Structure 1
Amino acid sequence: MDGQDTGLPGGVDVTVASVARMHDYYLGGKDNYPADREACAHLLTRAPSTAVLARNNRRFLRRVVRLLAEEQGIRQFLDHGSGLPAQDNVHQVARRVHPDARVVYVDHDPMVAAYGRVLLEEDDRTAVVRADLRDTAAVLGHPRVAGLLDLREPVAALFVSVLHCVPDEDDPWAVVRRVAGRLAPGSCLVVCQLVSDDPATRDSVTGFMREATRGGWGRVRARHDVDRYFDGLEVLPPGVVEVAQWRPDSEVHPRQPGRELLEYGGVGRVPDDR
């Protein structure tokens, strides 16, 4: 089944699970299909906390965007692997602080790009770009990115719950380093991904997701793998942590039914003396 059969954009195969559509399902969205829901059900048998992780991760995204706008004065955001639109998207959160904030959403999924352009490009200060986040030159050199973002000024580059989709052979750590190297001092990189302290869980979830998405997955990693993303950056308090513990608005948040998987990350600032 392809996009012509379903009325969806070309390149969309709804018979194969999509990470973006699985995340949409966990958040209670409607832009998902039986293959996505079946994959979610199977994943929950391996990692019962997955749905709660998705909700906590969305809260982290909203919180970190607000705090970077308020406390770091950032008015430009580049959201790598943005996924399908949901409630309180990056530009909506940022503009509660800075009404002139500019936001570019980047995703390689054709459905995300098409739906995003309809729902997120509300004005001339937001854009949705279809590009592969692994190709930093193509992302930052895209006319929509270059036209909206001034890389001479601080930018918040977001890699929220996406780098576990990048295989080791594509070096996700180098992706983060390349982006950091192109940004002005005072810019911030927000990075988090799925981790597990149990090697068997890492292997089980990684193997299942690679099969379910037919290669659209990298690896569940260990915490020390995520720590490496912040090499050369000034890590903002409270450090690299489970994301529900990153500057929580309150102590009340959905409790995970298990700790077999964690969303782990933080915020790194590009030093002034670089």
Structure 2
Amino acid sequence: MSANVPDEDAALAEKLRGFDTSVPSPARMWNYWVGGKDHFAADREAADQIMAAMPALPAIARSVRYFLIDIVHSLTIDYGIRQFLDIGTGLPTADNTHDVAQRAAPESRIVYADYDPVVLAHARALLTSSPEGKTDYIEADLRETDTILSAADRTLDFSKPVAILLLAVLHFIPDEDDPYTIVRKLMDEVPSGSFLVIVHAPSDRSPEVMAEQTRRYNESGAELMSPRSQEEILRFFTGLELIGPGVAPLSEWLPEGQAGPASGEAVAGVGRKP
């Protein structure tokens, strides 16, 4: 970490007056793991403690980014998708959803949703668009499904197929908040030909390591984490037609050269609404 990190912390905090920088955030911890600059001391401390239990986390985070780029490109080119609803966006990096989609099809429309105020502070980086397309940003939690759908309707045409992206977000929705109903409600609003894309922490791959990572995550003060089994993750795709390798480790989704050993420690699935 560079010597000027405290100065960078102060500059970011100044943009977010009244915001509690002592509470770690999943989005900012993820940003730290992928080598970004948008995180505070509390985020770095929590991320380091969790990484001590699972040193592969930075590599896993990079694999999720590779998967996002690959699947958005494929949905745009191979399946003709021109609308994306990316919930749990996280902090902007290179090759965000709109960058990839509009590079392939400039008329693509993308709506992002996240609740982290630091993401909101950087939302202008997500709101760039090709002249032919459009992007928008919604400040909302995944649990605020009605708010997201209502606001997304300003940009997306829900009579045409939409790809809903839930990458590394559903494992922060505990069972008591009924994540299956949340996903079903989202998919009920989109027509035939739409897609659901999920990346989820698995409880049954390296279970002892994942259990220790989860324990540390849940003690960090950030969102509580709820990894799920292969069968539980598969339930999110009830009624959908799975494509590719189905609900499988990221290593089975990524091309040769991107799929390292760590990419087997996260599970992805893509389903098409018939």
Measured after TM superposition, the shift of residue 199 of structure 1 is 4.5
Of the three residues 262, 267, 270, the one matched with 1:264 is: 267
Separation of aligned partners in 1, 2:33 and 2:210: 20
Separation of aligned partners in 2, 1:139 and 1:131: 7
Separation of aligned partners in 2, 1:5 and 1:85: 15
Of the three residues 154, 159, 163, the one matched with 1:156 is: 163
Separation of aligned partners in 1, 2:112 and 2:12: 27
Separation of aligned partners in 2, 1:132 and 1:24: 18
Cα deviation 1:151-209 (Å, max 9, x = unaligned): 00000000011111111111112111111111110000001111132544443222221
Quick one: structure 1 residues 99 and 258, their matched pair in 2 at CA, closer, same or farther if it must change by over 3 Å? closer
Q: Unmatched 5+ residue regions in structure 1?
A: none
SS at match of 2:91: coil
Q: Is the aligned partner of 1:12 residue 2:56?
A: no
Q: Is the aligned partner of 1:140 residue 2:152?
A: no
Of the three residues 92, 115, 138, the one matched with 2:99 is: 92
Separation of aligned partners in 2, 1:6 and 1:31: 10
Of the three residues 182, 207, 210, the one matched with 2:215 is: 207
- Who is 1:253 aligned against? 258
Q: Is the aligned partner of 1:168 residue 2:175?
A: yes
Of the three residues 114, 117, 122, the one matched with 2:128 is: 122
Quick one: structure 1 residues 7 and 76, their matched pair in 2 at CA, closer, same or farther if it must change by over 3 Å? same
- Who is 1:66 aligned against? 73
In the alignment of these two chains, the number of paired residues is 262
- Who is 2:43 aligned against? 36
Measured after TM superposition, the shift of residue 114 of structure 1 is 2.2
Partners of 2:91 and 2:119 within 8 A in 1: yes
Partners of 1:95 and 1:101 within 8 A in 2: yes
Q: Is the aligned partner of 1:233 residue 2:240?
A: yes
Measured after TM superposition, the shift of residue 35 of structure 1 is 1.3
What TM-score do the two structures reach when normalised by structure 1? 0.89
Partners of 2:230 and 2:247 within 8 A in 1: no
Q: Is the aligned partner of 1:107 residue 2:114?
A: yes
Q: Unmatched 5+ residue regions in structure 2?
A: 1-9
Structure 1 runs (4+) deviating above 3 angstroms are 198-203, 256-259
Measured after TM superposition, the shift of residue 81 of structure 1 is 0.2
- Who is 1:177 aligned against? 184
Measured after TM superposition, the shift of residue 13 of structure 1 is 2.1
Q: Could you tell me which amino acid in structure 2 is paired with residue 119 of structure 1?
A: A
Cα deviation 1:14-42 (Å, max 9, x = unaligned): 21211001111111111012211111211
Separation of aligned partners in 2, 1:258 and 1:83: 19
Measured after TM superposition, the shift of residue 88 of structure 1 is 0.4
Q: Could you tell me which amino acid in structure 1 is paired with residue 142 of structure 2?
A: L
